[in-house]
Chains A and B, each alone.
Chain A
Amino acid sequence: EAGVAQSPRYKIIEKRQSVAFWCNPISGHATLYWYQQILGQGPKLLIQFQNNGVVDDSQLPKDRFSAERLKGVDSTLKIQPAKLEDSAVYLCASSSGLAQKETQYFGPGTRLLVL
């Protein structure tokens, strides 16, 4: 079974530029998560989708971050404009359902450096 795919793996941009990350979850997984992980910290949930609907985006900085999952499968996370403090690893995860007992499977992450 293929795992969660993410691209690109690495990205370097200058502040005020825009960037987009792509995630393809495990086939059949209805729930998709985007996390931001700053060096030395645990992952911080940015947004959670159930199919193509948003379940939780309370920690998403909506003035600069946006995410979509139009067909309930792939998802993109965008930052516009980027700030220095956005330098982090962006992790995508998926699970088969919403219940906490459903295991999350994580992708390898996209490492973003904002200069």
Chain B
Amino acid sequence: LAKTTQPISMDSYEGQEVNITCSHNNIATNDYITWYQQFPSQGPRFIIQGYKTKVTNEVASLFIPADRKSSTLSLPRVSLSDTAVYYCLVKLYDMRFGAGTRLTVKP
């Protein structure tokens, strides 16, 4: 079972770039890395997914080194509305969430 490790919490200020790193040492060849965002009283929402190198969409970037044993979610210029819990998931067919990283954006 590919176990993921993330920081429990992070604080940031509006306008800053936030990088959240997830460790997944036992990632398998077929595994994709997927990040979700969850606001209070809502279900998780897909942010970004990648397999290797770098992926960018309108919300975030995902950086994956060559060994794929970690990944970094990058949120550019965060705002107060980015305060949420962020989860990284790694495991083919096995959607098991860890505790996630609670990001608090301050004014």
Contacts and interface: CB of A to CB of B under 8 A. Distances in A.
Interface of A: 4, 33, 35, 41-45, 48, 55-56, 91, 93, 98-101, 103-109
7 contacts: A41-B99, A42-B85, A48-B95, A93-B44, A99-B93, A100-B95, A108-B41
Interface in B10-52: 30-32, 34, 36, 41-46, 49
Nearest to B51: A101
A42 B93 contact: no
A103 B46 contact: yes
Interface of B: 30-32, 34, 36, 41-46, 49, 85, 87, 89, 91-100
A105 B95 contact: no
A91 B95 contact: no
Contacts, number: 62
A56 B32 CA distance: 19
Contacts of A104: 36, 44, 46, 95
Most buried by A among B34, B43, B87, B92: B43
B46 A42 contact: no
A51 B13 CA distance: 44
Nearest to A101: B32
B26 to A, nearest CB: 15
Contacts of B93: 55-56, 98-100
A46 to B, nearest CB: 11
Nearest to A41: B99
Q: Which 5 pairs of residues, A with B, have the shortest CB-CB distance?
A: A106-B43, A42-B97, A103-B46, A43-B97, A101-B32
A101 B49 contact: yes
A109 B92 contact: no
Contacts of A107: 43
B32 A91 contact: no
Contacts of B96: 44-45
A33 B93 CA distance: 11
Given A42-B87, A42-B97, A42-B100, A100 B43 contact: no
Contacts of A100: 30-32, 34, 89, 91-95
